[in-house]
Amino acid sequence: MRIAIVDDSGLRATVLGDGLREAGYDDIHVVPPRGAFVAILERMAPDVVLMDLGSPSRDSLEEMLVVSRALARPIAMFVDQSDDAMIGAAIDAGVSAYVVDGLRKERVKPILDLAIRRFNAFARMQADLDEARTALADRKTVDRAKAILMKTRGLQEPEAYAALRSAAMNQGRKIVDVAEALITASSLLGGIE
């Protein structure tokens, strides 16, 4: 597992690195949070990012949001002090683990494991949500196409669905694709949607 430590304090990076090596990780890279460090992280493509910000500012958390969006990887953030606004901003930035005053090498492995598990759980929930949204949109499309068939051809709902299904099977396409084509054709012909 490739792990990036974003830190500008040599001592803090050493503590994190020691904790990771003791846990059996050896592909560890320290990246100072200066300049184009987000681009460096993107090129490095780490599996996990550990950030030690000490006392994070609003700008630091905004940079975290950029890192989180660019990498879509588990991120654990270590800070010395925090408040509710900072915690909320870290969560909004996609931080998987936010550790206040907990930078000790024996805690690094459990925190790393937590960050990975939370990231994976959130990714599964996001995938499920995306799948549900797609299914709902597809159903609405099929319902619109059925309504067109019912209105223009005088079919009942089961017959309209059977016609869409039959056309999809004959064309080797998905029902939703046939439905979209029907809606487009109806719209172009000035028909009913």
Q: Where are the domains of the chain?
A: 2-103, 131-188
Residue 67, amino acid:
V
Within 57-104, residue ranges assigned H as helices are: 58-71, 84-92
| Residues above pLDDT 70, as percent of the chain | 92
pLDDT in tens, 16-62: 899 999 999 999 999 887 777 888 888 888 999 888 776 666 666 67
Distance CA 107, CA 8 (A): 20
- Indicate whether 193 pLDDT > 60: no
Options 3.30.2350.10, 3.40.50.2300, 1.10.10.10, 1.10.10.60; CATH for 131-188 is 1.10.10.10
So what's the architecture of 2-103 in CATH? 3-Layer(aba) Sandwich (3.40)
pLDDT in tens, 156-167: 999 999 999 999
- Indicate whether 97 pLDDT > 70: yes
Q: What pLDDT does 68 receive?
A: 73
pLDDT in tens, 57-89: 666 667 766 777 777 889 888 887 777 877 787
Q: Where are the beta strands (DSSP E) in 82-148?
A: 97-100
The pTM for the full model equals 0.69
